[in-house]
Every structure is written in structure tokens, then in C-alpha cells.
């Protein structure tokens, strides 16, 4: 009789635990529901629609979309403009990602060690972030304008945006200037999460500033690096506003990017199928890069409890 009572009590306890678990799960899904709704409407559905549209020929030569399978993707492999856009975007990503992250860490470290004027210094670093994209593009247009621009006063023969060899580097400089201060904010937050006792112990052991940065600061910022890398990578591949105002992809296609080429293909040339194929390639590329970065770097990251 006693054993039956114990068994019944255990069953009731397990049943209550299961009910509580279900309640927590339902509550969690309800809290996530608004975010999941917007994720589906503005991300998953457009990607699925683009994948579907990429399998059709849908341009001005067709009255109705015609199913052609993977022909749009095959055509892109032979498209010299697409290849040039791909190379341009790759160059921007390879250059801006390490420079933005490196400069942001340095600026965050400098501002974190100041004893006076910290807010003023940080505001000066992040001020470019507050400038609207269109305004920032016009500012740099003035800087690069020959004769009348800021650099034109130094040497009137400089034509950075008109030369295919220098135009993309002019855009890279502008992109680094625009993003570094914003990235710095995340590193400041990451630096505040590092225990000061680690630095005190390292100083007692005779560690130099460089050693403390390489052995303490940088490893402890790995969690921040995962998020920052995704932001910088996304910014490198979503240049449209600056590009449209400053170069429109020129001269030739020296500064054309994948996202701007999608805009040109879809809205200037009205080739929806080809534009959708480029979109799918861009999304898959970004997804693969961010997934690899997350699953490889997350193992090395340190998270505070």
C-alpha cells in the first residue's frame, strides 16, 4: 500500500513537471510568434519566392513566365557583368571586414582607457554612423570631385571616381569611414564584459600591453566577433544607396556590386527571372559564410553567465 502511494506521488510529480514544461514551451513560442511572423513575411517568403521565380524566364520577351529550370543560373556563369560584380563584392568584403574590425577594436580600446572626455571622443568616432546614407554619399562625392572637391584642391588632376582603377578603392574608404564607428560600439560593450582582474593578474606577472591584448582581450571578444563579422559582411554586400549616387556602377562596371546588379536587372532591364537567380546566389553565399563563421567561431567564444 505504501509503495502504491509513493508510485502515485511520483507519477503526479512527473505529470506536473511535464505540464509545467509544456506551459513554458507554449509561452516561449507565443513570445517568439511576432518575431517569427516578420521573419517569415519579410525574409523566408521573399527568399522562397525568389527561388521559385529564378526557375522561369520572365522578361520583356515573354508574355507569361516560362519554366526553364536552371538556365538562368547557367546564363549567369557566362555573364561577364555578373562575374565582375562578384569580384568587386569579394574585394570589398576582403578589404573592409578586417580593416573595419581592426580599427573598431583599436578605437574601442583607446576610448575605453580614457579618463576624460570619453563621451566626446566616442561621439566623434561614431558620428559618421548617424549621417544618412544619401548625405554620406554626397559628402564623399564632394571630397572626390576634381578641381572643386576637397581632394581636388590638393591635386586637380585626381579623378578617383572616374578612373576604374581607383573608383572601387574610393568606395572602400567611404565604407570603412561609415561603418567603423558603429562596429566600435559593439567592441566597447564587449570590453566592458571582460573581468578587470584578468588584466591586473597579467600586469603582476609582467605581461606587456601587446601580450594582454593577444592573450586576454582578443580571445575574450570572440563572441562579439561572431556578431560583428556578420554585420560587416552584410554591409559589404548591401551597397546600393552609395553606389547609385556616387558611381551608378561605373565607370563601366568597375564599381558594380551584386545587389545593385539585381536592381538593374530587375527594374532597369525587367528580367525578373535573372534577378531572382542572382538574389538566390547572394542569399546562399551569405548564409554559407555566416553559418561556417558561427559554427567554427562559437566553439572558441567565451560567454559570461
132 and 26 in one domain? no
pLDDT at 3: 52
On whether both 282 and 136 belong to a single domain, the answer is yes
Q: What is the mean pLDDT of residues 39-55?
A: 91
| 218 and 105 co-located in one domain | yes
Q: Is residue 119 part of a domain?
A: yes
Same domain, 264 and 118: yes
Sequence-distant (6+) residues with CB within 8 A of 230 are 290, 293, 294
User: How big is the chain by its Cα radius of gyration, in Å?
Assistant: 26
Range in 97-101, 107-111, 288-292, 293-297 with the lowest mean pLDDT: 293-297
Q: How many domains does the chain have?
A: 2
Q: Please tell me whether residues 191 and 239 are part of one structural domain.
A: yes
Residues 40, 93, single domain; the answer is no
β-sheet bridge partners, residue 133: none
Nearest to 253 by CA among 172, 173, 164: 164
61, burial (CB in 10 Å: exposed 0-12, middle 13-18, buried 19+): exposed
Residue 64 forms part of a structural domain: no
Give CA–CA dist 230/223, Å, rounded.
Answer: 12
pTM to 2 decimal places: 0.83
128 plus 265 within the same structural domain? yes
| Domain of 271, in residue numbers | 79-297
pLDDT over threshold 90, residue 262: yes
pLDDT at residue 143 greater than cutoff 70: yes
The pLDDT assigned to 10 comes to: 66
- Taking residue 17's Cβ as centre, other Cβ atoms within 10 Å add up to 10
Per-residue model confidence as pLDDT tens digits over 106-126: 999 888 888 787 888 888 888
Instruction: Name the helix (H) or strand (E) containing 230.
Output: helix 222-237
At residue 80, the pLDDT reads 94
88 and 32, same domain (yes or no) = no
* CA distances (Å), origin 280, targets 37, 41, 72, 75, 247: 21, 17, 11, 14, 25
The answer as to whether 172 is a domain residue is yes
What is the per-residue pLDDT across 36-45, written as a single tens digit (0 to 9) for each?
A: 999 899 888 9
pLDDT band at residue 101 under the 50/70/90 scheme = very high
d(CA 233, CA 190): 19
Instruction: Provide the b/e sequence for 279-299 (b: ≥16 CB within 10 Å).
Output: bbbbeebeeeeeeeeeeeeee
Percent of the chain with pLDDT over 90: 35
Amino acid at each position: 500500500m505504501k509503495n502504491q502511494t509513493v508510485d502515485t506521488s511520483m507519477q503526479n510529480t512527473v505529470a506536473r513537471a511535464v505540464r509545467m514544461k509544456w506551459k513554458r514551451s507554449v509561452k516561449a513560442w507565443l513570445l517568439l510568434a511576432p518575431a517569427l511572423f516578420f521573419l517569415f513575411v519579410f525574409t523566408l517568403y521573399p527568399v522562397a519566392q525568389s527561388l521559385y521565380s529564378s526557375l522561369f524566364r520572365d522578361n520583356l520577351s515573354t508574355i507569361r513566365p516560362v519554366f526553364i529550370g536552371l538556365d538562368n543560373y547557367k546564363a549567369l556563369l557566362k555573364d561577364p557583368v555578373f562575374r565582375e560584380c562578384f569580384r568587386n563584392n569579394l574585394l570589398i568584403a576582403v578589404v573592409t571586414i578586417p580593416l573595419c574590425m581592426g580599427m573598431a577594436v583599436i578605437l574601442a580600446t583607446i576610448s575605453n582607457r580614457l579618463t576624460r572626455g570619453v563621451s566626446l571622443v566616442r561621439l566623434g568616432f561614431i558620428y559618421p554612423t548617424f549621417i544618412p546614407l544619401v548625405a554620406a554619399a554626397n559628402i564623399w562625392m564632394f571630397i572626390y570631385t576634381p578641381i572643386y572637391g576637397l581632394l581636388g584642391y590638393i591635386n586637380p588632376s585626381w579623378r578617383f571616381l572616374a578612373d576604374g582603377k581607383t573608383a572601387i578603392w574610393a568606395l572602400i574608404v567611404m565604407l570603412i569611414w561609415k561603418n567603423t564607428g558603429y562596429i566600435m560600439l559593439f567592441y566597447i560593450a564587449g570590453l566592458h564584459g571582460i573581468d578587470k582582474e584578468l588584466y591586473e593578474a597579467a600586469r603582476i606577472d609582467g605581461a606587456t600591453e601587446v601580450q594582454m591584448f593577444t592573450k586576454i582581450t582578443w580571445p575574450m571578444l570572440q563572441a562579439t566577433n561572431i556578431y560583428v563579422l556578420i554585420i560587416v559582411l552584410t554591409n559589404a554586400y548591401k551597397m546600393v544607396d552609395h553606389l547609385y549616387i556616387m558611381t551608378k556602377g561605373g565607370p563601366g562596371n568597375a564599381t558594380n556590386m551584386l545587389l545593385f546588379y539585381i536592381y538593374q536587372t530587375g527594374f532597369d532591364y525587367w528580367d525578373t527571372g535573372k534577378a531572382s537567380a542572382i538574389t538566390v546566389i547572394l542569399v546562399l553565399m551569405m548564409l554559407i559564410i555566416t553559418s561556417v563563421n558561427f559554427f567554427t567561431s562559437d566553439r572558441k567564444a567565451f560567454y559570461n553567465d
